[in-house]
Amino acid sequence: MGRTLVLGGGGITGIAWELGVLAGLHESGIDLSDADTVIGTSAGSVVGAQITSGAVLEDLYARQLRPPEGEIGAHLHPGVLARWVWAFVRERDPRRARARIGRMAHARSESSLAERRRVIASRLPAAEWPSADLRIAAVDARTGDRVVFGRDGGAELVDAVTASCAVPGVWPPAVIGGRPYIDGGVYSTCNADLAAGSERVVALAPIARGAGPLPSPADDLAALEASGARTVLVTPDAAAVAAIGPNVLDPAARAPSAQAGRRQAPEIAERIARVWNRD
């Protein structure tokens, strides 16, 4: 892999913030959508599918500013997070803990799978996998293993994105080939380690921190740098954090998050250009 764009998870607001950053960078002459490989997790899987579809980036950004009709508001309740933490504490083995969280996802969700799939499909400009190398991270709800879907992986694009966005305890697992899958963020909020072998990596990470066995984006990028890659990590600045607010699943925060991402872009453009632009 040459240049890889990593797009992390972060809910509806994460989608908006990432598109704002990408649109602002494009305006500054930096087109991250021309990456050789795009790796998307949860919110990042939506953005990855959008920017590799051939859609105009400015149109994708403008869509974030419109009233969020068709989106379903939700909230990641503290009790759900507590059950995640308890799973990792009780099992000790992260793989078994993720499988326990997968079982929890079967029992608790705030919509039907058909309804959730419809929402995801409405976000995607195209139903087919792009010709670009797009990789989408999810977790097998039965085994706890990470799975990476791509155009040759046997999953329809909308199902792969639905799986990657299936937040346990909020949205139901997606079913692909008869198996249930949950949010790739249960393995890592960014899954930037999948960029191993890349020469240059830019990661947009709406969630800047790791938690317990979940590595932080910075940890993943440090490992990539140790192997010789040139990297840049972009996380929300103070203004973007305020715009995103306490609930990343709140559609009302979508437009402010997109605008904050666009305002942040000029501040990081030079740093990204030094790594991304070909010498």
Residue 98 lies in a domain: no
Across the strands, what pairs with 98?
Answer: none
Q: Which domain holds residue 158?
A: 3-72+109-276
User: Choosing from 42, 164, 198, 257, which is the catalytic residue?
Assistant: 42
Return the pLDDT at 69.
81
Q: What total number of domains does the chain contain?
A: 1
Return the pLDDT at 82.
59
Residue 90 lies in a domain: no
Residue 247 lies in a domain: yes
Return the pLDDT at 43.
97
Residue 221 lies in a domain: yes
Give the residue from 140, 148, 76 showing the smallest Cα distance to 102: 140
User: Is 183 part of the annotated catalytic residue set?
Assistant: yes
Residues 6+ apart with CB under 8 A from 92: none
Return the pLDDT at 5.
98
Return the pLDDT at 28.
94
Beta strands 37-41 and 133-140, pairing class? parallel
Residue 77 lies in a domain: no
Round to whole Å and give the CA distance between 255 and 257.
5
Return the pLDDT at 16.
98
Round to whole Å and give the CA distance between 266 and 19.
14
Quick one: which H or E segment has residue 127? none
What would the DSSP string read from start to end of 218-241? HHHHHHHHHTT-EEEEE---HHHH
What is the sign, positive or negative, of the torsion defined by CA atoms of 82, 88, 90, 95? positive
Calculated CA dihedral for residues 138, 179, 95, 117, nearest 10 degrees:
30
Residue 81 lies in a domain: no
User: Choosing from 33, 53, 159, 183, which is the catalytic residue?
Assistant: 183
Residue 254 lies in a domain: yes
Return the pLDDT at 80.
60
Beta strands 146-149 and 174-176, pairing class? unpaired
Q: Can you give the CATH number for the domain in which 151 is found?
A: 3.40.1090.10
* CA-based R_g, the chain, Å: 17
Return the pLDDT at 94.
85
Across the strands, what pairs with 174?
Answer: 181
Round to whole Å and give the CA distance between 230 and 222.
10
Residue 103 lies in a domain: no
Return the pLDDT at 71.
80
Chunked in runs of 10, what are the mean pLDDT values of the chain (279 residues)?
94 97 97 97 98 97 91 68 63 81 67 87 96 97 96 93 93 93 93 96 92 84 95 97 94 97 97 87
Across the strands, what pairs with 183?
Answer: 138
